[in-house]
Amino acid sequence: MHFPSACAKLYTMRPYNSLNESLQKRFGEKLYKLTLNIGCTCPNRDGTLGTGGCIFCSAGGSGEFAGSPALSVTEQIEAGIESLSGKRPARRYIAYFQAYTNTYAPVDYLEKVYREALGHPKIAALAIATRPDCLPPEVLELLSGLNDEKPVWIELGLQTIHEETAAFIRRGYPLSVFCQAVDALHARNLEIIVHVILGLPGETKEMMLETIRYLNTLPVSGIKLQLLHILKHTDLAGFYEETSFHVLTLEEYTDLVISCLEVCRPDIIIHRLTGDGPKDLLLAPAWSSGKRQVLNTIHKELKQRNTWQGRLFNPN
């Protein structure tokens, strides 16, 4: 893959290529995501691959903050706009299909719900969270067609490139499937956002950096860095209670995020630096519930170290 020789210099004036800045440049305004639930399940839950989901996945399928599937897409969008109107009003929004695997349904149904969101006058783009093994040709063609109307980006839950870790978390597909999905999406000019979890049991700092370096070689446009949360009622919670495996401290996580940014390709958009699990489900780490404090700590340390995204990026 070819990268412009000047790209390493483009982002040295700011610590990282943030989603907010990217959206401001692209759309000329600040956009907020409206999280939606269209009632999909997951092959890791319906018996196709398994029934328990990934080891860290809660009953909400990472969609605890999403709308209710009992409501139509339009009703969820309107409810989301209303909830944000007081504290974070915006002219337009991103419809984020978040809960479970949002391409794991009949294509006719997917077209109906996607087009319902796409047709809303305040929706500027679609973000669709899914698995790389749930992108059959007919769904890819649907996504490609929608992308001709408004921007569509696909969020893939990779978490790690290491097969041993992937087996432990019950991801359910090999790295080769992820790579094939990336190629298929890229061939259709669809933007690809990759989810990476930092702090998975058994992974060293170097292993996590290897995941970032590997993604540098692929045509991905964005990365979400996610701290490993241990949530109640998950299999990971049981493993934690049995083993008391090490959970990252705020200082360790800050150092790890900065190291990931330093080796990350400079043009990749950083969609997330951390995450905050539902407070009523969070077992550990407790410090992660203060998301603003976590972000402030990372930003302060970036400034103190005088470092930035791509500082150590090696295109060779």
Kindly list the domain boundaries of the chain, sorted by start residue: 7-305
pLDDT at 88 over 80: no
pLDDT for 276 equals 78
What does the pLDDT look like over 148-192, one tens digit per residue?
999 999 999 999 999 999 999 999 999 999 999 999 999 999 999
pLDDT for 65 equals 66
pLDDT for 2 equals 44
pLDDT band at 12 (very low <50, low <70, confident <90, very high): very low
Q: Which is more confidently placed, 50 or 260?
A: 260
What does the pLDDT look like over 34-87, one tens digit per residue?
999 999 999 999 999 998 889 998 765 555 567 889 999 999 999 999 988 877
pLDDT for 86 equals 76
Could you say which of 3.40.190.10, 3.20.20.70, 3.40.50.300, 3.40.50.2300 is the CATH number of the domain covering 7-305? 3.20.20.70
What does the pLDDT look like over 297-309, one tens digit per residue?
999 999 999 999 9
pLDDT band at 9 (very low <50, low <70, confident <90, very high): very low
Q: Which is more confidently placed, 64 or 253?
A: 253
- % the chain with pLDDT above 70: 93
Around 200, how many Cα atoms within 13 Å sit in the side-chain half-sphere? 29
What does the pLDDT look like over 119-132, one tens digit per residue?
999 999 999 999 99
The CA distance from 49 to 96, in Å, is 25
What does the pLDDT look like over 105-118, one tens digit per residue?
999 999 999 999 99
pLDDT at 310 over 70: yes
